[in-house]
Amino acid sequence: MLDFTGRWSGECTPQPGPMRHGLTTRESRRGRTGHDATGMLIAGEPGFGFGRGAVWAVHAGWSGDHAHYTERLPEHGPVLGAGELLAAGEVRLTGGEPYGSP
């Protein structure tokens, strides 16, 4: 696994580690992307790096509150996901009205 963290003048610091069993989530609830927002979540074969190993990545493409997650359970392969985090009442739909996420 590889995601990113950081602070001002040190944003996008790589944070590699193993994919753990269960659900692992990185959330940003600042209403915008911040210096510590992961931006992208990458999973790959053990020892992957620039130019070696198969990798899979996910990016929410959303500048508001968002989450990136992995889930690894015994009954299925690993899952990567990302999406917006909506606050209660942030989107209100009338009957039959569609909603498209980023």
The whole-number average pLDDT for the span 30-52 is: 82
Residues 6 or more apart whose CB falls under 8 angstroms from that of 54 comprise 44, 45, 48
pLDDT at 32: 67
pLDDT at 24: 92
The whole-number average pLDDT for the span 28-43 is: 78
3-state secondary structure at position 70: strand
3-state secondary structure at position 27: strand
Tokens of 56: 């899979």
pLDDT band at 41 (very low <50, low <70, confident <90, very high): very high
Q: What percent of the chain has pLDDT over 90?
A: 36
Q: 73-84 pLDDT, tens per residue? A: 989 889 999 999
Q: What percent of the chain has pLDDT over 70?
A: 93
3-state secondary structure at position 77: strand
